[in-house]
Amino acid sequence: MPTVEDFLSGQTLLIDKPLHWTSFQVVNKLRWEIRQAFNIKKIKVGHAGTLDPLASGLLVICTGKMTKQIDTFQGQIKEYTGTFVLGSTTPSYDLETEIERTYSTEHITEVLIKETTKQFIGEIQQFPPVFSALKKDGKRLYEYARAGEAVEIPSRTVHISEFKITNIADNTISFRVVCSKGTYIRSLAHDFGKALKSGAHLSALRRTKIGEFDVSNAITPEQFITQLASE
């Protein structure tokens, strides 16, 4: 485990974010534990790319002077795995909100599913979910959404270099996606359902890579705290 000098001069920590934690909670927890372990009043800690509470996986945490590298890490290619459920949609495009509409899936075949992925390879236009932390006029989009206020969200250009279907079990589709910064996998699920002339929502998501960083080398917040205490 690094020393206090190491943390202050700058460390890059690979954390496997648990389900239901916010990225902000992980940063706050690690900052507090480092301060307590070394009896210091202040240390910079930040993350390189938010993960939703309903997603797990790789969170790159920077401390001290390494926080200057956050923008660089955020801009790197990311890899995700997860599952879509076909035949229904939710306002948030995932399981944060209840199912609002259901659709027929009788016309959907394995061949159609795999062919449809080709529409999402390369540069695509994507609308961020209304239930997201993006800001418009100084207010988070999810604040508008929870208040039932309609808001116009401009589309953005994102790049998807790989979109593979790894398993099909009834209406649950497992996938792997490699994509650029700014890609919303929830929006991909929603748009994928529309392209199939049905609905879809994201039911599970795990970030496995950011650039050269791999979740297989990451530790949980609890493991980090244990290692810190053992020094």
pLDDT confidence bin for 148, thresholds 50/70/90: low
Does residue 61 sit in the same domain as residue 106? no
One domain for residues 59 and 167: no
pLDDT band at 71 (very low <50, low <70, confident <90, very high): very high
What is the reported pTM?
0.91
Are residues 104 and 156 located together in one domain of the fold?
yes
Assess whether 120 and 160 both reside in one domain.
yes
Same domain, 202 and 219: no
Q: Does one domain contain both 42 and 143?
A: no
- Shared domain for 200 and 100, answered yes or no, is yes
Annotated catalytic sites, by residue?
A: 52
The yes-or-no verdict on residue 45 having pLDDT over 90 is yes
116 vs 131 pLDDT, higher one: 116
- Please state, rounded to an integer, the average pLDDT across all residues of the chain: 92
Domain that holds residue 71: 4-75+214-230
Q: Which of 72-76, 125-129, 192-196 has the lowest mean pLDDT?
A: 125-129
118-138 per-position pLDDT tens digit: 999 999 999 888 766 666 666
What interhelical angle do 221-230 and 23-38 show, nearest 10?
Answer: 10
Confidence of residue 22 (pLDDT cuts 50, 70, 90): very high
**Predicted confidence band at 42 (pLDDT cuts at 50, 70, 90)?**
very high
